[in-house]
Structure 1
Amino acid sequence: MTSTPPKRLVVAVNPAASFGRRRGVGADAAGRLRAAGHDVVELEAPDYAMLRSRARDALATADALIVVGGDGMVNLGVGLVAETGMPLGIVPSGTGNDTARSLGLPHDDPGAAIERLLVALQREPRSIDAARVSHAAGTRWYACMLSAGFDAIVNERANRMSWPKGPRRYTIALLVELARLRPIRYRLELDGVASERAAVLVSVGNGVSLGGGMKATPDAVLDDGLLDVLVVEPLSRSSFLRIFPRVFAGTHVTDRRVSIERARRIRIDAADVVAYADGERIAPLPIEIECVPGALRVLV
């Protein structure tokens, strides 16, 4: 039993979690939470839209939302609980798990993550910032990283491909877009200061990494009230391939063609670019991003 009163927990499981090597993580998490004395509502659905709807209804009588999956599930959770005061717990079981990495959670060991969650439920949640994205069709939230450049273009191509399945699809999309690499003309506005820049990559980090540990904004802080804006100036394909591996260590920031600025409000516009956040498709540019301090309470 817990040393604090039992809680009513909504556990939302990635719709794709019935496949692959981590298909039992959701049931394991729910079982361990019940064994600890909590009242658990376990939710599964065939797709994200239905899962989101079911979770929204269940949260009316809940004390916390627990998401089981990767960054896409974290994104779903953030969209449901940002600015509500409802705590969010994370059991990472995806391929990237970049939000978990930024929070210092076990990102490659679901069992250890469940143990950490059980301890966190006995403590006060941590308050961190979240980023609110406004676009032509509405508003979205994200916790870790937004991309609006080369990596987002690769994501967009991969999502349009019906073959092959799995990670190979992204590898092929990467090679196709690398062959077509060219600068994008951006119109940026950081806290009211406007500029036009040619770049191959623009990312806006609340957390540190994207793509499973690529430290795009290595010095980002989750609760400083600011977002880190990464801009990579035009590069040849050979230069891009030399810099790219350095992103995993965060040492790309020493290159003179790479810059990071901090801002609370950012506007990004460019032709034919779609923004992705936490690996999820957000909207075509233009978008406006605002860092909302303390908008998210997390169980860590």
Structure 2
Amino acid sequence: MPHPVLRIAVAINAFASFGRRRDVGPKVVAALRELGHDVTELTEVDIDLLRREVQATIAGGVDLLVVVGGDGMVSLGVNELAGTSLPLAIVPCGTGNDFARGLGLPLEDTEAAIRHLLAAITRPPRAIDAVLVRHGDLTTWYVGVLSAGFDANVNERANRMRRPRGKSRYTLAMLRELATFRPIPYRVTVDGVPRNLSAMLISVANNTSMGGGMLIAPDAVIDDGLLDLFIVKPLSRLGLLRVFPKVFSGTHTHLPQVELTRCRSVRIEGPGVIAYADGERVGPLPVQVDVKPGALLICA
């Protein structure tokens, strides 16, 4: 029995992986059109223009949004579709691909990723949790990890750097940030219970990893209606350097300097800290973070 023809918007970041995988988007479009789907290809010179094109195309009526790129494109898709009945599909070809990794999508094999997409869109979409962040008068959705501390400062620094390209830029930014970093005084309200603490970083995870595979919350589940709150208590610079390799491998969860708890809402306050969610800049603290169970439909 033939599958129904779908109206599909394909949003492509041609600059994902610093432009090294420009071929992925056109291959996705060609594969969908070959099956007879009505495909609108969207690509722009910057993310803001692309976001406006996506919004206009969705308003015109589509059955599915496919994003081609890394976690930045996932963030774009999530912020357009969370809380709606329109599903999202992902073909990963970015630098980090953390959310795609959490979904078990093929990361380095374009043909395998396209086969996965073509199979996934023939099945009912899966409902997963999304996370709503309120910051000032604004709201942002994410599905991976919100960072507010040392790791967010590293992200802020790395985004200002032009070189080196790839993951080594994050490593260099981390070493530079480490040279001047001091523990941050936070006020954290977890499920309505406030506490004051000093910490190196606080992250709120829905997915297992961030930063291109750093297993910050190895037991996180994207459809359990819960968040994993990750806190690293004050450490020396050497101590923080020793902890970070364990975070990459997910073997940090039992360290005395690490606190991991499950919750449904978190308010984070602290001076001079910029929050990031799914690698994208949210803005300065305070932020209010709430999980919204089943708020996003995903084809995976």
**TM-score above 0.5, yes or no:** yes
1:184-195 to structure 2, matched below 5 A, reads: 184-195=184-195
**Partners of 1:16 and 1:53 in 2: CA distance:** 17
Distance 2:219 2:17 in 1: 36
Deviations 1:202-230 (A, max 9, x none): 11100000011111011111111111000
* 1:25 positional shift: 0.4
Alpha carbons 1:17, 1:24 under 8 Å: kept: no
The letter for the 1-side match of 2:112 is A
User: 4+ residue runs of structure 1 moved beyond 4 angstroms?
Assistant: none
Spell out the pairing of 1:112-261 with structure 2 (5 A cutoff): 112-161=112-161, 163-167=162-166, 168-261=168-261
Q: Which moved more, 1:97-106 or 1:67-76?
A: 97-106
Distance in structure 1 (CA, Å) of the matches to 2:56 and 2:111 = 28
Gaps of 5+ in 2: none
Relative to structure 1, the CA distance from residue 158 to residue 248 in structure 2 (aligned partners, 3 Å threshold; closer, same or farther) is: closer
Could you tell which deviates more after superposition, 284-293 or 244-253? Answer: 244-253
Q: 1:293 to 1:16 in 2, by over 3 A?
A: same
Q: Which whole-Å deviations, capped at 9, do the CAs of 1:182-203 have from their partners, x for residues lacking one?
A: 2111110111010011110111
1:107-153 superposed Cα distances (whole Å, 9 cap, x missing partner): 22222111101001110000000000000140010011111111100
For the Cα contact (< 8 Å) 1:214–1:247, is it kept in 2?
yes
**Does the CA contact (< 8 Å) of 1:147 and 1:276 recur in 2?**
yes
Give 1:170 deviation, angstroms: 3.1
The answer on whether the counterparts of 2:267 and 2:286 sit within 8 Å (CA) in structure 1 is yes
Q: Work out the CA distance in 1 between the residues paired with 2:17 and 2:104.
A: 26
In the alignment, which residue of structure 2 is the partner of 1:286?
286
Are the counterparts in 2 of residues 131 and 206 from structure 1 also a CA contact under 8 Å? yes
TM-score, normalised via structure 2 length: 0.96
Change (3 A) 1:209 1:17: closer
Identity within the alignment, %: 54
Contact 1:18–1:24 at 8 Å: present in 2 too?
A: no
2:32–2:118 CA contact under 8 A, matched in 1: yes
Pair 291,20 (structure 1): closer, same or farther in 2 beyond 3 Å:
same
What are structure 1's unaligned runs of at least 5 residues?
none
Q: Answer with 290-299 or 238-247: which moved more.
A: 238-247
* Residue 214 to residue 58, structure 1, CA distance change in 2 (3 Å): same
Cα distance, 1:172 vs structure 2: 3.0
Cα displacement (A) at 1:88: 0.2
- Residue 54 (structure 2) aligns with: 55
Q: Show the counterpart of 2:68.
A: 68
**Is contact 2:14-2:25 (8 Å) kept?**
no
Counterpart of 2:45 in structure 1 is: 46
Q: CA RMSD in A?
A: 1.4
* Alpha-carbon distance, 1:105 to partner: 1.1
Q: For the residues of structure 2 that align with 1:197 and 1:123, how far apart are their CA atoms?
A: 46
The amino acid of 1:159's aligned partner reads N
1:202 is paired with a residue whose SS is strand
**TM-fit CA distance, 1:20:** 3.0
CA deviation map 1:33-59 (0-9, x unaligned): 111121100000111111111101111
Tell me the secondary structure at the aligned position of residue 31 of structure 1. helix
Does the residue aligned with 2:253 lie in a helix, a strand or coil?
helix
Counterpart-to-counterpart distance in 2, 1:135 and 1:80: 18
Q: Distance in 2 between matches of 1:294 and 1:64?
A: 17
Structure 2 residue identity aligned to 1:237: R
